[in-house]
Structure 1
Amino acid sequence: MIGDEGEKQAAVYLEEIGFEILERNWRHKHLEVDIIAKDGIFLTFVEVKVRKNSIYGYENALISKAKQKALSRAAEAYFFENNYTGQIRFDLISIIDKKLTYIEDAFWNY
């Protein structure tokens, strides 16, 4: 599947730049986070978007407000399950036309 391969590619990329992958496709009820990883002091929640081409827009249009809210709720659930109290960040990896782009701090938590 395209999404699964993209998530694998994203996880490899993150490990190559020093991230520690903690979870892939983490779920809580109806919420899902593609990748949860440690980057230094930050716990990062990484959304991975894969597109064959840019017809539906580029990176800045890939995470809707509804998806941002869902990721924020998922992060809160993860905190409670794991007693996490440190710093967090929401990142984006897009793979469009087979080109990987990493965006740190793609959006702020609500």
Structure 2
Amino acid sequence: MAKHLQLGRDGEVLAKAHLEKNGYEILDENWTFGKAEIDIIAYKHKVIIFTEVKTRTGNSFGEPEDFVDNRKQRLLADAADEYIYLMNHQGEVRFDIIAILFDKTGNYILNHIEDAFWPSAT
């Protein structure tokens, strides 16, 4: 497996463990719709949380969360709309980012940004 793909998978495992440790129920992982993939879909306090996980080994080009641009947000929103429709969810939703930054020794910092964005209409 390519190194960057393994890094992403490692980040998703850490993000899932973080969410579960904090009382979130994991509904789905790597859920796709069209060109969009939602890394983790969680549920807590009657809210569905669509979570984008960004994992990097350095921040010289920006923090991991900086890579969730407007285009990515629109794709996530489209996929979230479909998921909400399929699940007939009538409650609140939220978009979170979990940013994970590894250093050269394998240590990491995990930053869970709740309500990180609200996708604008296209």
TM-score, structure 2 normalization: 0.85
* Larger relative strand fraction: 1
- CA offset at residue 60 of structure 1? 4.9
Q: Which contiguous aligned blocks of 4+ residues in structure 1 show a shift greater than 3 angstroms?
A: none
The one of 49, 56, 66 aligned to 2:61: 56
Deviation per residue, 1:29-88 (Å, 9 max, x gap): 322100000021210000000000111212552210000101100100101211112100
Q: What RMSD in Å do the two structures reach over aligned CA positions?
A: 1.2
Identify the residue that residue 109 of structure 2 maps to in structure 1: 99
CA distance in 1, matches of 2:88, 2:27: 15
The 3-state SS of whatever aligns with 2:23 is coil
Structure 2: runs of 5 or more not aligned? 1-5, 103-107
**How many residues are treated as equivalent by the alignment?**
110
Identify the residue that residue 30 of structure 2 maps to in structure 1: 25
TM-score, structure 1 normalization: 0.94
- Cα distance change of structure 1 residues 53 and 72 upon mapping to structure 2, 3 Å threshold: same
The 3-state SS of whatever aligns with 2:114 is strand
Bigger Rg over Cα: 2
Which deviates more from structure 2 when the two are superposed, residues 53-62 or residues 73-82?
Answer: 53-62
- Indicate the percent of aligned positions where both proteins have the same amino acid: 39
Which one-letter code corresponds to 2:86 in the other structure? E
Structure 1: runs of 5 or more not aligned? none
